A = this chain, B = another copy of it.
């Protein structure tokens, strides 16, 4: 067995790599606690897996810096994310699911193993750049399509933007957006921002003023202008 042998990864290992990638992407320290929260399991379990992933040279870890994906760990993570997002496109575009229904199914589909599957799916879908939530789909080589996004929560009063993606893909959140009639491409204008709790009064597609919480606004990413 050689160091650079591509070892088949388990379901669980793949989910850890993806979680580590996402926590890091959010600029947070990749601690056992953070990983456990992301995977809804126990920090003690995470420590076990950290040791395994270190041995497989997929991550490095030290207590103070947290976990870091190695080059091969990152390649794996991006491959899984790529498959996740491609399958989400398939479920919405081809099977007619709503964007708030596909996450859990893609969470399973992302683990299907076949060398040519992602490429064939990608071609079949017309090489999409973004998934149904506006998240960029990594290319086969791991390159991400660039997409300038700023948080709605960071937009100044009086400014406008178009919804480019959402940072929370949970069903409750997406149902809430549906109820607000807010989707990808919706235009949003910030009418006011309350000092008190950072909630905002906004207009969606020039509609009536609506109040939304800071939790909501921090999960919406916009293309400014």
Contacts and interface: CB of A to CB of B under 8 A. Distances in A.
A179 B91 CA distance: 36
Nearest to A11: B11
A143 interface: no
A105 B114 CA distance: 7
Contacts of A108: 111-113
B124 A95 contact: yes
**Size range of the interface on A?**
10 to 19
A215 interface: no
B94 A117 contact: no
A115 to B, nearest CB: 10
Contact of A120 (B96, B112, B121, B124): B96
B121 A114 contact: no
A21 to B, nearest CB: 23
